[in-house]
Amino acid sequence: MTSRRHLSMLRSYTAADALTIGNASCGTIAIFLCLDFVATGSARYLWVAFFLLPMALVCDVLDGYVARTQKGRQSVLGGDLDSLADVISFGVAPAVLGFTLGLRGGWDMVCLTYFVVCGVSRLARFNATAAELADEETGKVKYFEGTPIPTTIVIVGVLAIAFRLDQIDGMLWFGSYRIAGADLHPMALLYVASGSAMISTIRIPKL
């Protein structure tokens, strides 16, 4: 009986949920590949991590499209699954990628942690206020409050450029500064800016 209950949850997944799981899987594998780079120093698989995060974004876009087209088959897990997957792929994974590529100073880690916390907070706020933001006639959310967490893929693109040009400790990272006994790479402030934008009250129309 127990196994049937577990399988019943899997059977309840829709096609949109499968894409959301793909999103989470891409982010998780990217994190594993970053850990491999830290442990071995070999960059042979790190480009796969850079590739997987845009693929996570593709899955995220498609799961929303599929969910809207699956009339009469909405998943009760869909919203929560989507938020949890986004935290992995667009919150934790980009932060781990930054740490992997050299943002390892004390202040860097504060910036990266702030970034992840902002992402979690932004998703929690959206889930809690989605009903209030929804249009009364259509029931659909017409705008986002704060930048959506998938926009953090821009940071991944910047890191990819830096890595490609082999400028991890050079000009693209703008050097390193010692502040109050801990190091700060100004590049880490990009994470702070992104996190702050996510928790802002800026209204962005939902396409």
Domain boundaries, the chain: 2-205
- pLDDT above 70 covers a percentage of the chain that reads 79
Q: Return the residue matching tokens 């990628």.
A: 97
- Token digits of residue 195: 């996190």
- pLDDT above 90 covers a percentage of the chain that reads 53
- How would you classify the pairing of strands 203-205 and 143-145? antiparallel
Instruction: Name 73's Cβ contacts closer than 8 Å, sequence gap at least 6.
Output: 14
Residue 117 has pLDDT above 80, yes or no: yes
Predicted local distance difference test score (pLDDT) of residue 1: 45
Q: Return the residue matching tokens 């910036």.
A: 111
pTM of the predicted structure, to 2 decimals = 0.85
Residue 99 has pLDDT above 80, yes or no: yes
- How would you classify the pairing of strands 203-205 and 182-184? unpaired
Q: Would you report the helix, strand and coil content of the chain in percent, each value rounded to 5?
A: 70, 5, 25
| Phi, psi angle pair for 144, to nearest 5° | -95, 145
- Token digits of residue 145: 């409050």
Q: How many Cβ atoms sit within 10 Å of the Cβ of residue 76? A: 9
